[in-house]
Structure 1
Amino acid sequence: MSFSVYARRVRDRTLPHAHRRSALRSAVVLFKPFGFRATWSYLGTVGDLDRDGDALLRALEKLESSRDAGIAERAAFAERRREEKRILHRQRPSAADTEFFRGPRWPGPDGHRAVVHEVARLWRAHAGSVPELPAGATGATGLDIVVCGHVLSYLTAGGRLDRHRLDAVAECLPGLRRWASPPPPHDAACTYFRRLLRMAELILNDPDGATRQQ
């Protein structure tokens, strides 16, 4: 079924709460900016989705707002690309566009709040010792220290980093992507650096995460 059908079921107060909640979950399956688990976690900030019918409506409103913004954003990008091809003969999107659409994003007015929530959630899961790393992975340890410092600064500042720190995070992306796929049997290290990479990408795609340098 379509997203709109599930949305109507969420709004149908004649249905049992469990059916409406299930419909919202199905809608999230169809549109999940951060993946299902992370998207559901953010929607849960509006209230008790297990018991509160009004919370279901508030969550649906956030989800629909993001979906509508994403559709409009992609349409605007497609139109701009057509113009670039026609006028500038630019066949490939810019590196900035590629990076922007590559990373995790929450389109719409909740973009900043959603990113801060997800970075904080991942940071809680990230706490603990660094797992065993492949032989000769001294660079990975330094990378971990640097990125963790920036993530902590971002959260401490309420979801803000100055441009210098944002640039430093961006410079760490190639290294993070390399260590996010280490050879077996380093699955724990892979999970660790994938989570670190995810936090870095989220911060860089925060629509309101930059502050002016002092």
Structure 2
Amino acid sequence: MIELHAVSKAYFAKGIRKQVFDGLTFTFPANRNVALLGPNGAGKSTLLRLISGAESPDTGRIVRRASLSWPLGFSGGFNGSMTGIENIRFVARTYGADSDEVVDHVAEFSELGTSLRLPVKTYSTGMRSRLAFSMSLAINFDYYLIDEILGVGDASFRKKSNVALREKLPHSRLIMASHSMSHVRELCDCGLLLSPDGIWFFDNVEDLINAYARLH
């Protein structure tokens, strides 16, 4: 169960304050895969970071009664001076997972080869995303948070990633921000529509997609 209680979040850039959420209260339905749809800048990625704990709300509180992944592909938590393997071991220990097993899984799945022995600061954006995505799948969570990451890598890696993610679904749930309606239909059954005029929950994913289409 994930609950948001009167959550507010704003950012400041070049002297301009942007209010992303203002007193948002919402309980994510249990045992459902939830899509987050909305135009760019509506707050989808911000909401995922708040849920994961990567960022804190300005006011309000978030209750998490489940284990959550970081947003899949989010590499902001890496130590750039440490190698890929060192980062993997650090994360594995943080989540109480067997570090050797996680290293083996990530090495095989990420296809990063000898690059895992290099400092992460030398990685391209795509390499960092591959590493973060592979690490997420190597650890079991109640909820996997996804932020447009299903498009990472070449066609072969994308196909492998989709298969691996679907294999998690019998035991885990998803909260996914995406602009791909095919991915939303395939993986989600309900969702939130984030728009400049407000935030609405749709119990049926097709109703969500239709409402999103009317924004354009």
Q: TM-score w.r.t. structure 2 length?
A: 0.25
More strand by share: 2
- Kindly name which structure, 1 or 2, has the bigger radius of gyration based on alpha carbons: 1
Query: Whose RCO is larger (CA < 8 A, sep 6+)?
Result: 2
